[in-house]
Amino acid sequence: MSNKKVLGFIGTGVMGASMVGHLLAAGNEVHVYNRTKAKTDDLVASGAIWEDSPGELASKCDIVFSIVGFPKDVESLYLDTDGLVAKAKNGAILIDMTTSSPKLARKIYEAGKKRGIGILDAPVTGGDKGAREATLTIFVGGDEKDFKAVLPYFETMGRTIRRMGNAGDGQNSKLANQIVIAGTMTGMCEALTFAKSCNLDLETLIEAVGGGSASTWSLLNYGPRILKGDCKPGFFIKHYIKDMKLAEETAKELNLDLPALTLTRELYDKLVCAGKENEGTQALYLLYADKKK
């Protein structure tokens, strides 16, 4: 990768920390910011440069990535008077990798355009495992020239990278991805519940089903975690509910009825009511396990 730019990265949580690690390992200069500074300590020890605010970071970097929590966080980060759009260097490219609102992505794009700043919405899928192994799928919306400029850095963090269209289309594509997951997560949990009730060996079942036409990423990656009772978040329930609500809102704008999506979101809402919003999405199985008791 020649002519490397100075990079910035905001949000070093479950996925962001690994993504920054790959950028550092590729020899890039990376400036970092996170609301909880301690979450950047290992990265700074590995060569990252801490900045005291997003605005300070943006003023020093040619390309800035962010992956934060919710659309309100994205809007504040980008559009506040001291936010990224206001503080970015002339000609910079800002890339939000949070799963957020397509409408907000277009709003940020227009704000950036007025300042001559490139804006991409580039949400990811693949969870903590994909972030650690640099096998993320990255859905990108925005101008092709900006996509091409950032592509080498995307390739450092992910394996399947596609420009899906204009501003907001990265988010629309990620929401479509989350709709698919709604079906695979419920299907996996119900299949494991059924198989357990039939006294089948669940490890053998996962291997067998995983080798056939019903194989899914959720089954192969979350199934073994479920068998171990491991509900640690590769992807938080609270964030998945946010994604499903965004998909429902967008579907409503398109006059679409997506009943399977809504049912899945309602199931996850029950887990939130049980205080499990900070568990991983595989904790959906607990609803079925509890019913068996």
DSSP per-residue string spanning 109-175: HHHHHHHT-EEEE--EESHHHHHHHT-EEEEEES-HHHHHHHHHHHHHHEEEEEEEESTTHHHHHHH
Quick one: CA dihedral 100, 105, 106, 107, positive or negative?
A: positive
SS3 107: helix
Which amino acid, one-letter code, is at 195? A
DSSP secondary structure code for residue 64 in this structure: E
Beta strand 158-165 with 7-10 is unpaired
Query: Whole-angstrom Cα distance, residue 99 to residue 160?
Result: 17
Query: Which of these is catalytic: 87, 174, 242, 276?
Result: 174
Q: Beta strands of the chain (E only): which ranges? A: 7-10, 30-33, 49-50, 63-66, 93-96, 118-121, 124-125, 136-141, 158-165
Catalytic annotation present for 291: no
Angle at 95 between CA 163 and CA 32, to 5 degrees: 140
Torsion of CA 124, 187, 71, 104, to 10 degrees: 70
Q: Identify the burial level of 195 via C-beta atoms within 10 angstroms of its C-beta, where 0-12 means exposed, 13-18 middle and 19 or more buried.
A: middle
Catalytic residues: 174
